Chain A
Amino acid sequence: MSQELVDQVSKYLTPAIPIEPISQGAEAVVFTTTIHPYLPTINEKQKFIIKYRPAKRYRHPIIDRSLTKHRTLSESRLLAKLYQIPGIHVPKLIACDPYNGCIWLEFLGEDLPDAFGFSNLKNFLWMHASENQNPYGDIVRETLFKVGEQIGLLHWNDYCHGDLTSSNIVLVKKDEKWEPYLIDFGLGSTSNLVEDKGVDLYVLERAILSTHSSYAEKYNEWLIEGFSEVYKSNGKQGAKKLNEVMKRFGEVRLRGRKRSMLG
């Protein structure tokens, strides 16, 4: 991340809010901070996420301002709605400044033992694929099943994530078990189209295949088990809808993410 960018964010947030960069995507940069935007500090160890959409100098300022505002708002709205749906796990929205492209979120996850890094699904699976670990252990199976359930709930409520990868799923430890949380809804949307859901599942399957190739088959099977469970628990209509989504998922898999089209 360029120093210029960090300086830009620091200037906007003022020196009262110290920031620690953690990742840079195409559209946004993500920082952690220890300061809550409007509540007093309760303990020194508290952490929050700041997602910042920097101005893009390549595009016309009018386009840039309108996009930044629009996207920050729509991501915040989506998160706020999802947070209220029982069973769905997403980070809590704390604050949103659409004009400056800034969102504050609750910090989730922890560091895995033995330097396996932050507790997203990717690092979790890598940890269990390492020496003296069982890549097919109960804990892995259970966790992937729950991830499937999260995506199932999302789709059942007609939302799509748009960019499902194993690093966009954060695991939070509760009573020695891992609870998956979906993060980064930058490409998320409300959608009742089976196409969008099929593509969502396909993107995740590809992501698992490319980052956890040796165990991907079983892993994807467990994910789908969890996914199906949500639909099946909704009776006849659920089973019917599940059928439609899985059918389209199969079609998307055959043709790839892209529709075939004229050159």
Chain B
Amino acid sequence: MVNLNTIAPKNGRSYYIALGLEGSANKLGVGVIKHPILKEQEIGDHSHDCHAEILSNIRDTYTTPPGEGFLPRDTARHHRNWCVRLIKRALKEAKINDPRLDLDVICFTKGPGMGAPLHSVVIAARTCSLLWDIPLVRVNHCVGHIEMGREITKAVNPVVLYVSGGNTQVIAYSENRYRIFGETLDIAIGNCLDRFARTLKIPNAPSPGYNIEQLANKCKNKDQLVELPYTVKGMDLSMSGILAYIDSLAKDLFKGNKKNKILFDTKTGEQKVTVEDLCYSLQENLFAMLVEITERAMAHVNTSQVLIVGGVGCNVRLQEMMAQMCKDRANGQVHATDERFCIDNGVMIAQAGLLQYRMGDVVKDLKETIVTQKFRTDEVYVSWRE
């Protein structure tokens, strides 16, 4: 039976406090979270309901100019420049005066993600741990998203759709693992949207996906669609073909290539398809694929709850489609969080890390803190659930 209260909080306190550091992609996040000790957590799985209090949640995004993506080197430099400042601000906002006394644990992202940015954050994490003599916990980024989503929405055992710039996975829990039921065979959905946005020089602030969503909303003829490949393969999906195709359309549109029959009337030269139309069609097509594989996983594990996490999870249209599917399918429910928790942040690392810490999983040798670009969700032993 799961008992989350085996490790006592520091200094006889009745609560735990964890610092979380995240920097696996272009967002640098630092957060502080507090868990009270709850009696019911001694006798079973209450990991989705920790009564977590978010003491601070600070993020700084490395934004590149329109048409440019973020490179590992530059992103790592951004994180190095801001990391210590963000930690200071997060501690201050959380009213942590002396981290040596007030913090139980420091949690950091071990992976998956971009190597250089991950590394620049772990250096700060290790230094803080040694300076303050506080244990470290290494967190899988994807598990961080899942645990934060569960805590915020109180979804007990949902099928999880994890959609971000680097990941596209459908996940369900079984026997102490978050098992991957379906995933992308090539590029992630966020990556697909980002690269499409780059071709059309759609701004990267606040995020390319958000701007695509706004443009799609402005689409004037929603009963028409630009036909795109639909590439669901069983439980998995593929998006590189779709990107290549819509990217070529986007390039022709951007250059005003009148020979393209899909975009222009060949006789009059009149433009038939707008940027807004392309954004709308791309979203409709990609999201239909995501909802379909999620539904497959739901049928497999026989649940009616879905939790959407990851940056693309903020998309209102995706949430709408998922809600419709859940409703049609045995009156299910969809759970999603807003941008504070959907987009990469430090609090989620603290949440998952604190659960691990309370189950006794801490770093014993700094060698264990080496970051890794590849780190599958199902590699983590989920000790905090039944």
Residues of A within 8 A of B (CB): 2, 5, 24-27, 56-60, 62-63, 66-67, 162-163, 187, 256, 258-263
Contact = CB atoms under 8 A, between A and B. Distances in A.
A172 B42 CA distance: 51
Contact of A63 (B183, B285, B330, B378): B285
Nearest to A62: B225
Interface in B67-106: none
B180 interface: yes
A59 B321 contact: yes
Interface of B: 24, 111-113, 141-142, 166-167, 180, 183, 185, 224-225, 227, 230, 234, 284-285, 288, 291-292, 295-296, 298-300, 321-322, 324-325, 328, 330-331, 373-376, 378
B374 A2 contact: no
Contacts of A56: 288, 292, 325, 328
Interchain residue pairs A-B with the least CB separation, the first 10: A263-B112, A59-B288, A26-B299, A58-B324, A26-B296, A58-B321, A58-B325, A26-B295, A60-B284, A62-B225
Contact of B234 (A59, A163, A262): A163
B373 A263 contact: yes
A263 B225 contact: no
Nearest to B142: A263
Contacts of B330: 2
Contacts of B180: 258
22 contacts: A26-B292, A26-B298, A26-B300, A58-B291, A59-B291, A59-B292, A60-B288, A62-B224, A62-B227, A63-B225, A63-B288, A66-B227, A67-B230, A187-B234, A258-B183, A259-B185, A262-B166, A263-B111, A263-B112, A263-B142, A263-B166, A263-B374
A60 B285 CA distance: 8
Contact of B284 (A57, A59, A261): A59
A146 to B, nearest CB: 26
A193 B291 CA distance: 28
Contacts of B24: 263
Contacts of A187: 234
Most chain B CB atoms below 10 A, which of A25, A57, A63, A260: A63
Most chain B CB atoms below 10 A, which of A67, A258, A260: A258
A5 B329 CA distance: 10
Most chain A CB atoms below 10 A, which of B328, B374, B378: B328
Contacts of A63: 225, 230, 284-285, 288
